[in-house]
Structures are given as C-alpha cells and as structure tokens.
C-alpha cells in the first residue's frame, strides 16, 4: 500500500496495509552525510507501523514498530523540530516516540476503544499534539472520552466526559492556555478547561457528525501579539458530514457564519486547514515588481 504526492505525482510504496495518515516531518530532514536538507514524509498504516520516507527519492529510511494493531493518527511535537511523535491505534493505546532513536518512550493506556482518526484524513487527528505547558498529550476516542496524559510519567491526568458518540477531532488551543476543543459524531463541538476539568462551551447546529475542528487565525485589531501579528482567539471552526463549515464565537456561544457545500457534488466536510495568504500590500508590491 502507498501514498501519493499530487504536486510531484510521486508514489511512495512500502506499507503492507492501508495508509491512514500522512504528514510532512521537520525532524530528520537533514541529511548529514550529504550536508543537505531533504523533505521527509511520515505515514501510519494498518500494518501497525509508522514509516519515514525521503520525499524526493520515495525511499524509506526509518520505521517505528510497536503498536499491536493498525496505527491511525500521528502528531508531531511543536518543539524540538518535531522530534517527538505521538500515535493512536486500534490497539486502544497512544504511544510517544523519540524519532531520533526510533524508540517508544511511553505507552498510554486507559481508553476502552480505538484512538484513531478517520482513514485518509491527514489533518484532523484525535491525538492532541503535545501541548499545554509542553508536558501533556490529549486524546479522543471511540469510547466517547477525551483524556489528558502526563508525558513524563505516562499517567492519566484527566478524563473529560460529555460527548454521546465517537470523538472525531481534538485540538489544543494555540491562543487560550489550558483549553481543548473537540468534535464528535453526536453533532456537537465542545470546549474543555484543563484546570477546572470541566466542559465550558457546547456548540450545537450541525445536523450530522462533526469530523473536524480548528481554531481560526482570523485577525482582530483588539488582539495584538508580541511579534506584531494579530489573532482572534475567540473564533473556532468546524466541518461536518452535513456538508457545512461553521464558525462559532466562543464568547457569545453562538454560530457566526455558515458555508454550505454543494450537496450534488460534495459528500461532507472531513477535514479543515487554514492557509496563510499574503496581505494586499504584499500582493500589490509583487505585482508592481513584475510590471
């Protein structure tokens, strides 16, 4: 089984089972022998392995082996250039890996069902990237729970309950400390406070499963960051099998905007990704330079 890169039409083959998730990896991208940078792709599969590939040559150069069932979601740490990787599996566990040594650091056990993301969905993981203060992992499962884990001790810190069906997506907030957002097949989006260990918001409006949640990068003049950029931490976005994308205001606990897909052409929203666009000034400058 393999995966394909649309931009280069490159086919990467080597897995012996279905490929569930594919991500680019920053860690391991430096080829010390050649003193060059190489683009690296990481994939997880039903063959129970996680594999790293040289994007240009399509050659495998690292395998992480330890799960006893198919590996679904993978997420890299936002620090150390993604040296640490967490993975969720049909064996009901989460594993934390050191990519450099290819070793399992911890196995997190507690979920009663699959810790997995939707097949072929490479953006909406139910394994939270190592977040908070850098020492926790959050995970969502088919057992209807979200769990918080201590990275150093592998102990379960908190179990969040409230969803009435499979959890399809969990995300740490990049803006609000100690906040997790989740989407579920109970058609709802929920916010959770890590400190109080309680649900703080529930957003209802979707008429089908919520498979993706994201924190919006929309700018706001009221929220200036230290680096001069502006963000609005109060907007979240959700994608659903009802073929809609919805934007929600955390403060008012209400829907702000809805984007409806074409029911004759689209089947549902499975994943979401915001892309950074150049501002108008930069676009005009680039246009002037080419005149």
Distance CA 36, CA 152 (A): 33
- pLDDT category at 28 given cuts 50, 70, 90 is low
Give all domains of the chain, ordered by start, each with its CATH number. Answer: 67-220+232-260 (2.130.10.10)
8 vs 257 pLDDT, higher one? 257
pLDDT (tens digit per residue) in 45-94: 999 999 999 988 889 999 999 999 989 888 888 778 788 898 888 888 88
pLDDT at 188: 96
- Give per-residue pLDDT as tens, 268-283: 898 888 877 666 545 5
Q: How far is CA 149 from CA 6, 60, 109, 276, in A?
A: 36, 31, 10, 31
Q: What is the pLDDT of residues 190-227, one digit of tens each?
A: 999 999 999 999 999 999 999 999 988 865 545 444 54
pLDDT of residue 25: 86
Give the integer Cα–Cα distance in Å for 111 and 108. 9
Is 32's pLDDT higher than 60? no
């Amino acid at each position: 089984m393999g995966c394909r890169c649309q931009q280069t039409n490159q086919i990467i083959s080597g897995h012996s089972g279905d490929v569930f998730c594919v991500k680019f990896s920053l860690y391991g991208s430096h080829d010390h022998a050649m003193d060059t940078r190489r683009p690296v792709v990481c994939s997880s599969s039903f063959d129970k392995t996680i594999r790293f590939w040289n994007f240009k040559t399509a050659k495998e150069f690292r395998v992480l082996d330890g799960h006893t069932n198919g590996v679904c979601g993978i997420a890299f740490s936002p620090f150390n250039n993604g040296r640490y990787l967490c993975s969720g599996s049909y064996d009901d566990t989460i594993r934390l890996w050191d990519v450099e040594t290819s070793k399992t650091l911890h196995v997190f056990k507690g979920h009663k069902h699959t810790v997995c993301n939707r097949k072929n969905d490479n953006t909406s993981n139910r394994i939270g990237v190592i977040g908070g203060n850098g020492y926790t992992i959050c995970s969502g499962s088919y057992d209807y729970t979200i769990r918080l884990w201590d990275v150093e001790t592998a102990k379960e810190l908190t179990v969040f309950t409230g969803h009435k069906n499979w959890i399809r997506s969990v995300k740490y907030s990049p803006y609000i400390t100690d906040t997790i957002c989740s989407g579920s097949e109970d058609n709802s989006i929920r916010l959770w406070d890590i400190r109080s260990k309680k649900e703080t918001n529930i957003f209802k409006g979707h008429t089908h499963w919520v498979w993706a949640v994201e924190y919006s990068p929309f700018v706001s003049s009221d929220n200036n960051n230290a680096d001069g950029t502006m963000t609005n931490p109060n907007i979240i976005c959700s994608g659903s099998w009802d073929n809609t994308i919805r934007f929600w205001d955390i403060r008012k606990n209400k829907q702000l905007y809805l984007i409806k897909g074409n029911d004759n052409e689209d089947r549902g929203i499975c994943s979401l990704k915001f892309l950074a666009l150049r501002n108008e000034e930069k676009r005009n400058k680039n246009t002037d330079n080419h005149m």
